[in-house]
């Protein structure tokens, strides 16, 4: 029996240079295995600075981008792939760069009518010397993901995180500082412009940090979220609007906070290359919609082929995404 990607040559980009390298290796392992089960001929590429030269030698038909974080998710690798004329998964150069830059993406989202937190960018040394806003607040790198380098400064804290002023801080000279939004952690996957469902996340570590996201048992996921119907609807609407406003394509994941006391829903950020690990939210949401992991990977790959006009993958006349719904 012919497999959906039988004989197709796919470069699986994973690893990379960012602080999220280990997560990318896991996402890559899962996606690469799925591609092979689907019949693809997979070239496993640990993406380094020589990526253009490696891909010129490999000559894939399409690139499955399983990179996370700086360089792989912020438009840089996307620019390399555009220059090489290779179709690739997920969002393009501009959307990737915008979504990774928290300050710029918040400005775009606010202009599109998406409710986002207040706050702004501050010099990291200034932010370490004294509170730049009244606690509680959140300190985060302006261009990282997976909760890398994130601190919550709680009410009554004597001083800000001193890690910001140390040589060990490698996440940029400016940090995003936002008011802390109490309440529930929510996430919405968007596929082909349409929201899948809303997940409520209960972290075991106090907040949804790196360990809570990727360690086995680090958090509990409740699908659909236990929130009022109007919040379920609003979360999906805001996530779809954010996906469109940033110019995203393929699959994204929006992270939100819901203050259930004051009935306030805020969208924190959009992830243009959401995790594809065994504990990741998007594959879990897809499964709840009847789309198993292999079919999700197939749709993401087909979507890249369709945009690159590579042709050749048998399609049934459905619009992108219908075959995986």
Which residues form the catalytic set? 20, 146, 214, 253, 255, 269, 271, 275
Q: Are 302 and 309 in contact (CB under 8 A)?
A: no
Q: How many CB atoms neighbour CB 267 within 10 A?
A: 25
Cα–Cα–Cα angle for 74, 205, 286, rounded to 5 degrees? 55
H or E segment at 107?
helix 102-111
Q: How would you classify the pairing of strands 9-14 and 62-65?
A: parallel
3-state secondary structure of 186: strand
* Of 108, 83, 111, residue with least CA distance to 98: 108
Q: Are 46 and 15 in contact (CB under 8 A)?
A: yes
Whole-angstrom Cα distance, residue 88 to residue 111?
29
Whole-angstrom Cα distance, residue 92 to residue 69?
15
Strand order in the sheet with 151-153: 120-123, 174-179, 137-141, 151-153
Whole-angstrom Cα distance, residue 245 to residue 152?
28
* Of 257, 301, 253, residue with least CA distance to 277: 253
Residue 65's alpha-carbon distances to 68, 73, 76, in angstroms, are: 9, 9, 12
Whole-angstrom Cα distance, residue 299 to residue 320?
8
Q: How many CB atoms neighbour CB 156 within 10 A?
A: 7
3-state secondary structure of 99: helix
């Amino acid at each position: 029996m012919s497999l959906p990607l039988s004989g197709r040559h796919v470069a699986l980009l994973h690893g990379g240079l960012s602080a999220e390298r280990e997560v990318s290796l896991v996402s890559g392992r899962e996606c690469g295995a799925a591609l092979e089960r689907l019949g693809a001929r997979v070239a496993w590429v640990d993406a380094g600075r020589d990526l253009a030269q490696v891909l010129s030698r490999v000559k894939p038909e399409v690139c499955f981008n399983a990179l996370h974080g700086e360089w792989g998710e912020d438009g840089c690798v996307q620019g390399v792939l555009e220059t090489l004329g290779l179709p690739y998964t997920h969002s393009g150069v501009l959307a990737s760069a915008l979504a990774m830059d928290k300050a710029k993406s918040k400005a775009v989202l606010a202009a599109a009518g998406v409710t986002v937190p207040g706050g702004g960018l501050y010099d990291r040394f200034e932010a370490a010397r004294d509170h730049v806003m009244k606690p509680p607040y959140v300190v985060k790198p302006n261009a990282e993901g997976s909760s890398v380098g994130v601190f919550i400064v709680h009410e009554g804290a004597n001083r800000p995180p001193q890690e910001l002023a140390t040589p060990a801080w490698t996440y940029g000279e400016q940090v995003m500082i936002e008011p802390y939004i109490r309440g529930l952690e929510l996430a919405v996957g968007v596929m082909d412009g349409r929201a899948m469902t809303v997940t409520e996340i209960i972290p075991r570590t106090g907040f949804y940090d790196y360990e809570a996201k990727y360690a086995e048992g680090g958090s509990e996921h409740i699908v659909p979220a236990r929130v009022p119907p109007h919040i379920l609807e609003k979360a999906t609407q805001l996530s779809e609007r954010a996906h469109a406003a940033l110019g995203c394509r393929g699959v994204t994941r929006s992270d939100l906070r819901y203050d259930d006391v004051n009935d306030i829903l805020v969208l924190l950020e959009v992830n243009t290359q959401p995790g594809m690990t065994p504990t990741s939210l998007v594959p879990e949401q897809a499964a709840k919609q009847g789309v198993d992991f292999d079919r999700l990977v197939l749709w993401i790959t087909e979507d890249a082929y369709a945009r690159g006009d590579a042709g050749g993958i048998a399609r049934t006349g459905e619009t992108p995404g219908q075959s995986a719904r």
